[in-house]
């Protein structure tokens, strides 16, 4: 069972798992999510914030005889953890690690207490005096780039905090680390052993990473291994960090799940989703930390074609679908050397 069939990378994950021989059932809250129609079966579920979500998903897993669950959106992670008690292999880190990562303020405090490098961070309610700018302002909880703003002057920050969009105790103010950004797959399972660490330099980001390239960056990999040692995720996670003026990594976020860049990790040689799934359900071999540097991911639109009968059976009425809009043109980008 793979959730969040409408997200940027889920369609590719569904097709990849089917190529590996798995029967894949996809879920989403929206019947127009493309990944629903690429799976062997699909089901609609409530949002992860709905009180009935866990019960609904448990019922769907039972009806489809699912042996494993791969949740891919933050709102679903904590409710999905409980489904392990129903006999499912849930491909997530431990519950307390998830809870810490989803509270970005708690995460920064926990990392700092463990001696791991993070940007200067405080709640908006804690700021005193004039902060050094630029700063990144973001909700204490949330995903992607939703509600994130960069304030380049103290006046910008004052206006944003006065706008009343969030209570000061729910808003994080963080030093902007302006160097090269990395999104890093950390492949680990229940024994706590880090099987692979794959740093990917972010080339273009629009909410999710659009272009990225695998890079050998031992100082980045070392910090990510330290996260597992200190916080014991014991499940797959993704570290987002940037290099400071001295070239040292500073962690600004951790996603306690597979990243949307997991397909790039696979293309480089470490099949983090398929490999951990095989370990969870079949006792498969651990993965090797062997991968190719310089593999570039170019995220794009693509078309798939299915029979109308299958399309209708999945629950979409073509006349009800919203018209598609042309995507905004992307700026030219250059892969840094």
Short-list 235, 266, 316, CA closest to 69: 235
Per-residue pLDDT tens digits for 186-202: 999 999 999 999 999 99
pLDDT value of position 327: 45
Topology (CATH) of 97-102+178-298? D-amino Acid Aminotransferase; Chain A, domain 1 (3.30.470)
Helix (H, G, I), strand (E, B) or coil at 26: strand
pLDDT value of position 315: 67
> Contacts by 306-314 with C-beta closer than 8 Å and gap 24+?
306/37, 310/37, 311/37, 314/31, 314/36, 314/37, 314/42
pLDDT higher than 80, residue 127: no
pLDDT higher than 90, residue 179: yes
Which of the four pLDDT bands, split at 50, 70 and 90, describes residue 129?
low
pLDDT value of position 118: 97
Domain ranges of the chain: 10-90, 97-102+178-298, 120-175
Which of the four pLDDT bands, split at 50, 70 and 90, describes residue 316?
low
Which of the four pLDDT bands, split at 50, 70 and 90, describes residue 144?
low
- Please classify residue 141 by burial: count the beta carbons closer than 10 Å to its beta carbon, then call 0-12 exposed, 13-18 middle and 19+ buried: middle
pLDDT value of position 126: 79
Are 200 and 264 in contact, with CB atoms under 8 Å apart? yes
* Residue 119 CA: distances (Å) to CA of 172, 255, 267: 12, 17, 31
Q: Which residue has the tokens 């890079």?
A: 215
pLDDT higher than 70, residue 142: yes
Topology (CATH) of 120-175? Dna Ligase; domain 1 (3.30.1490)
pLDDT value of position 36: 94
- Among 67-76, 100-109, 146-155, 267-276, the least confident range: 146-155
Kindly report the number of other CB atoms within 10 A of residue 193's CB atom.
11
Between 327 and 227, where is the model more confident? 227
Q: Against a cut of 0.85, is the pTM above it?
A: yes
**CB within 8 Å of 55: residues ≥ 6 apart:** none
Structure tokens at 32: 């127009």
DSSP notation for 241-252: EEE-TTS-EEEE
Per-residue pLDDT tens digits for 228-252: 999 999 999 999 999 999 999 999 9
pLDDT higher than 90, residue 167: no
Q: CATH says 10-90 is which class? A: alpha beta
Short-list 91, 117, 119, 120, CA closest to 226: 117
* Residue 281 CA: distances (Å) to CA of 19, 34, 66, 309: 17, 27, 11, 33
Which of the four pLDDT bands, split at 50, 70 and 90, describes residue 3?
very high
């Amino acid at each position: 069972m793979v959730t969040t069939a409408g997200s940027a990378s889920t369609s590719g994950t569904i097709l990849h798992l089917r190529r590996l021989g798995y029967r894949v059932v996809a879920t989403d809250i929206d019947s127009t999510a493309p990944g629903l129609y690429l799976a062997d079966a699909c089901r609609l579920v409530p949002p992860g914030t709905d009180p009935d979500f866990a019960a609904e998903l448990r019922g769907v897993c039972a009806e489809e005889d699912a042996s494993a669950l791969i949740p891919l959106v933050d709102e679903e992670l904590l409710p999905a953890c409980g489904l392990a008690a129903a006999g499912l292999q849930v491909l997530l880190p431990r519950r307390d690690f998830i809870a810490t990562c989803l509270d970005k303020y708690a995460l920064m405090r926990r990392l700092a207490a463990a001696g791991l490098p993070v940007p200067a961070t405080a709640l908006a309610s804690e700021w005193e005096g004039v902060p050094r700018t630029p700063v990144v302002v973001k909700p204490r909880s949330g995903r992607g780039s939703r509600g994130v703003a960069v304030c380049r002057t103290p006046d910008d920050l004052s206006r944003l905090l006065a706008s009343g969009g969030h209570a000061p105790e729910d808003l994080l103010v963080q030093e902007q680390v302006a160097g090269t950004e990395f999104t890093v797959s950390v492949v680990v399972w229940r024994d706590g052993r880090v099987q692979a660490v794959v740093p990917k330099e972010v080339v273009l980001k629009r909410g999710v990473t659009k272009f990225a390239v695998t890079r050998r960056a031992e100082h980045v990999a070392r910090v990510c291994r330290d996260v597992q040692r200190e916080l014991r995720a014991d499940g797959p996670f993704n570290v987002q960090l940037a290099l400071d003026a001295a070239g040292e990594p500073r962690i600004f976020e951790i996603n306690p799940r597979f990243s949307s860049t997991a397909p790039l990790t696979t293309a480089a040689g470490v099949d983090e989703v398929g490999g951990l799934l095989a370990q969870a359900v079949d006792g498969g071999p651990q993965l090797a930390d062997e991968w190719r540097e310089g593999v570039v991911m170019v995220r794009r639109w693509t078309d798939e074609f299915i029979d109308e009968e299958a399309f209708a059976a999945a629950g979409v009425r073509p006349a009800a679908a919203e018209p598609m809009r042309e995507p905004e043109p992307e700026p030219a980008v250059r892969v840094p050397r």
